[in-house]
Amino acid sequence: MNLKKRSNFIMCTMAFFVIGCGADPYNRGNYVNVTEIKGKESLWSRKDVEQTIGSPSFSDPQNANIVYYVGAQGYKHPFVSPTIQKAATVQLEYDDQGKLKKITEIE
């Protein structure tokens, strides 16, 4: 193989390698952006909330009207551990009629 063909081969190989190394979005759990539901207290039911942000991660064993959403967002890079950009735990409290009562971000 002459030098020109070899350098072309190396360039093509490098291009395919670099193209394959892009970062992919990474979601773990159920990350909630609180701005999606802020201001909806006493307006939305539990069903409205779950249709918008999904099912909760878990509920309080002592009080079924309190649920938690735990999640993280970041990027996965090939050959490297994922990096987390944002993480949040959000507590939602409902009243006895099932209306959203209180939103609390836990740090």
Q: Delimit the domains of the chain by residue range.
A: 23-106
Residue range 10-19: mean pLDDT, rounded: 58
53-66 pLDDT per residue, tens: 889 999 999 999 99
The more confidently predicted of residues 81 and 7 is: 81
The dihedral built from the CA positions of residue 82, 83, 86 and 92, taken in this order, carries a sign that is positive
pTM across the whole model: 0.71
The 10s digit of each residue's pLDDT in 25-50 is: 777 888 888 888 889 898 999 999 99
Burial (0-12, 13-18, 19+ Cβ within 10 Å), 49: buried
